[in-house]
Each structure stands twice: as C-alpha cells, then as structure tokens.
Amino acid sequence: MRAAAIEAVVIGASAGAVQALLHILPGLPATMSVPILIVVHVPSDRSNALVTLYRDRCRLRVKEAEDKEVVADGTIYFAPSDYHLLVEAERSLALSSDEAVHHSRPAIDVLFETAADAYGPALAAIILTGANQDGADGLRAVAAAGGVAIVQDPATAQVPAMPAAALSACPTAHVMSIDDILSYLVGLAAR
Amino acid sequence: MGDAVEDIEIALLLEAIYQRYHYDFRHYARASIKRRVLQARTQLGFASVSAMQDRLLHDPATLPRLLNYLTVQVSEMFRDPSYFRALREKVIPHLKTYPSLKVWVAGCSNGEELYSLSILFREEGLDQRTLFYATDINPQALKAAEAGVYPLSEIRKFTENHQKAGARTSLSDYYTADYGRAVFDKSLRSQVVFSDHSLVTDAVFAEMHLISCRNVLIYFDRPLQDRALGLFRGSLARKGFLGLGSKESLRFSVHADGFSDYVLEEKIYQRRDA
C-alpha cells in the first residue's frame, strides 16, 4: 500500500459499529491530518448520538457533516441520520434525501462511490462490521478508481455479513483485524 | 478524477436538456445529479450517457422518463414531526391573526408535504381561509400530488409522524384504503392550486404568508440556492414565514439579512424588513 498518497479516509459500518469505532477513533493521534468521513447505519431520528459519543473520546475534531461544507483536515465527519452523504469533485460535502440504498439512508455505497470520484487513488476505504450488503459496490468503485480498499476480517467482525459481502464484491481488498486497521490509520498520520 | 469522459457527457447532457427543453439542471449539486443520471442510463437501458442524450434530443417522449430520475424525491407525510409541531405551536398562532392566507409548497414532488400542511391547517381551523400553491417542475409529480394516493405500506410511518407532530385528529380520518393504496380525501385539495413552476428559471410567485420548501435547496449549488432564496424573499408578505429542511440553512446565503430566525432549530425563518 502506498500510504503516502492518501488524502481522505471513508469508513462504513452497520451492526456492531459503535464498538468497532470505539476501538479505532480514540486511538488516532492529534497529528492526523487526513479527514475521515463515516457512514453508520442508525435509526432515522435526528439525534447526533454518534457525534456526542465520539467527540469526548477523540483527539481529533468530530462533527456532523453539513451540506456544502469544505472537507477540512484533521476532522472526523459523521453522516447525519436520514440523509445520504456525498463528496463533490472539488472536495466539499453534499447531503441528499434521495431514496434509500439497500434500505439505508445514509448509505455507504453513496459515500464511497462519490468519494472515489473525488479522490481517485488518494482515497482509503474501510468496511467494518455489519449485517447487510451496503458498501460492497462502493468498495469496488474505490478499488476501481485506484484507491486502497480495506475490509475488516469477517472472522473477527462482530457481524460478518457486510465485510464478507464487500470482500466478495472486491476480492483484492486488504483483509485486516481491527487492530491492524488502527495501525494503518496511525501510519497515515506519521507521514 | 473519476471517469473524466463520463463527467463531460453529463455536463453535455444537462446543457442539451436546457437548450432543447428549458429544464435547467446545470446548477444542481453535481455528485447527486451524476448518480441520478447514471441510474437513468442503466435503468432506461442506454449504453452511454451520450446515447441517452442522442435519443433525448430527437425524441421528446424520452424527457418525462428522464425527468422522473432527475427530479422525483421520496418523502413522507409529516417528515421531521418536530418541524410540523413548531409550525403548529409557533407559526399558526401568528397566522390566525390574518383573515386570509396563502401558503406555497415549493418543490411539492408527490405531495406528501402538501397533504401534511393541509391536514395541519384543518386541525387548526385555518383551512377555509387558506389557499395553497403546490408547485414542481415535473408534470408527473404534480399529477401524483393532485391524485394524493400513497402505498398503504407507508401509512404506519405517516401516522406515527402525524402523532408526533401533535395531531388533534386521526390520520385515518383523511384517507380510505383501497387495494393496497391509501387514497386521501379530495377535500384536502379543494383549496389547492397545482402549478408548474421552476425555482431555477421562473419569477416571484405571489404574496405568501408561509413558504415551505424542504430538502430541495440541498440539491442546488450555492448560486442557485441564492437565486431560490431571493425568490422566496420576494414572494413573502411582510413578516411571512419560510421553512427549510433540517439540514438546510440561510447562514451562508447573500439573503441571510433578509430573514430573521424564528424557530432556528427547525429552520423556520421570518421575512425581515428594514
């Protein structure tokens, strides 16, 4: 993996997401400048529970993604509930209330496919634990654009279906344990 | 980056739609419109966006099919119940002081928001003195809005939202179930004017007391958002209200000074005059 080129990280997670992200996000150093965009499937109320949960535990800035916001370094963005999160070519964020994809809004596929368009080979994409197929097409799009595709080892994921689906759609993806994923991201900060 | 050829094709398609049919999607947020165009290409069975453009230019019958991909948005009745609760508790008391009212649902799509407001105004005793304008650029969406028929499978969610919005009646008072469909009572649209109107190319509408336009502006780029907000400012009566979607804001608009915050957390604004 040529980590030097990575300019953004996208992460998708569903069932089991909260625990998996607690293993990763608080471990990231304050020096990390690469922005991280995250879609977690949550029930469609308007709570900001994820932002609140991780904000106090992270050394990086954690916020909900806003429409038309320019992607800033050193920031972790969560998609708001009930909206898709997209990345524009000029690397700003966009929200949409288009129909759900794989019964999900936000959908991982929508974030990954648009981020792959915007960042091409400078993107790393990570699929974590989850119970459905969302993110598989998106991960394949990231790999097709030359980006780094990473899947949490289904054998160690709390719910293996989503990483397994991603792996079968994108067989060239790197399979990693949650600790390896953390190490990889920490490695991006060291550049 | 991405597929540069595809990006060129999409820009050309949007230009072709504008020049041939005067629907202007050129200033829509690009990532989202790209997804929709590619979805249309796949589902309408074209080998490329250019092939779709060729057909579109020479065969007007292709336009409505494409418009459905480019414009129709899914919604639900009383989406974001707290918005409707804020209208009920904070805006309606003010509107009750007027002898007659005009309400504009801009970008009404299939009409879910229109029927929600119509029910709210009836519950609050304002329906007889209110004229609603429901506008959209897509004629098929306007037809669907006028029909007021939704899948019965949606009703549970609609009902739950209605309750959370502080319902004074039961949603079942307003529809009849018919072969898996919920058919809403035509009296809910007896005071509604359905009209073709574009926020991109058309002018100020009328003297409105309330404009509700939710989850439309997020599809526009900033200059187009400013155009639409200017249109809303000019279409509102003095002290008139504007309701936006929960993730939309006036904050960065050139028209921010033309409005004051009314219920900020629900994105309800009021026209401000010097």
Indicate the average pLDDT of chain B. 95
- Give the total number of structural domains in chain B: 2
Residue B34 within any structural domain of the chain:
yes
Of A98, A119, A121, the CB nearest to B32: A98
Of A66, A99, A119, the CB nearest to B74: A99
- What is the per-residue pLDDT across A48-84, written as a single tens digit (0 to 9) for each? 789 999 999 999 999 999 999 999 999 999 999 999 9
- What is the per-residue pLDDT across A159-171, written as a single tens digit (0 to 9) for each? 999 999 999 999 9
Q: Does A111 touch chain B (CB under 8 A)?
A: no
State whether B26 and B137 are in the same domain. Answer: no
Which of B24, B44, B71 marks a domain boundary? B71
Of B2, B75, B247, the CB nearest to A83: B247
State whether B164 and B220 are in the same domain. Answer: yes
In the annotation, is A14 catalytic?
A: yes
Residue A95 within any structural domain of the chain:
yes
Token pair 């829509």 in the structure block, residue: B28
Q: Of the residues A102, A104, A134, A137, which is catalytic?
A: A134
Residue B76 within any structural domain of the chain:
no
State whether B214 and B100 are in the same domain. Answer: yes
Q: Of the residues A14, A84, A104, A109, which is catalytic?
A: A14
- Contact by Cβ (8 Å): B87, B243: yes
- Quote the domain boundaries for residue A36: 3-8+27-119+138-189
In this predicted complex, what is the ipTM? 0.91
Asked if the model's pLDDT at residue A1 lies above 60, the reply is: no
Question: How confident is residue A47, by pLDDT bands cut at 50, 70 and 90?
Answer: low
Nearest CA-CA partner of A152 in A15, A57, A4 = A15
CATH code of A85's domain:
3.40.50.180
Nearest CA-CA partner of B2 in A68, A9, A113 = A113
Q: Does B151 touch chain A (CB under 8 A)?
A: no
Nearest CA-CA partner of B69 in B175, B152, B3, B140 = B140
- Quote the domain boundaries for residue B154: 81-271
Residue A156 within any structural domain of the chain:
yes
Token pair 């250019």 in the structure block, residue: B50
Chain A environment of B245 (Cβ under 8 Å): 97
Residue B213 within any structural domain of the chain:
yes
Asked if B30 lies within 8 A of A89 by C-beta distance, the reply is yes
pLDDT at B211: 98
Q: Does B218 touch chain A (CB under 8 A)?
A: yes
Q: Does B159 touch chain A (CB under 8 A)?
A: no
- What is the per-residue pLDDT across B182-221, written as a single tens digit (0 to 9) for each? 999 999 999 999 999 999 888 888 899 999 999 999 999 9
Phi/psi at B203 (nearest 5 deg)? -100, -175
pLDDT at A45: 64
Q: Give CA–CA dist B43/B33, Å, rounded.
A: 15
- Give the total number of structural domains in chain A: 1
- What is the per-residue pLDDT across B111-154, written as a single tens digit (0 to 9) for each? 999 999 999 999 999 999 999 999 999 999 999 999 999 999 99
Chain A environment of B36 (Cβ under 8 Å): 98
State whether B57 and B125 are in the same domain. Answer: no
Asked if the model's pLDDT at residue B1 lies above 50, the reply is: no
pLDDT at B160: 97
Q: What percent of chain B has pLDDT over 70?
A: 99
Question: How confident is residue A3, by pLDDT bands cut at 50, 70 and 90?
Answer: very low
Asked if A66 lies within 8 A of B218 by C-beta distance, the reply is no
pLDDT at B205: 82
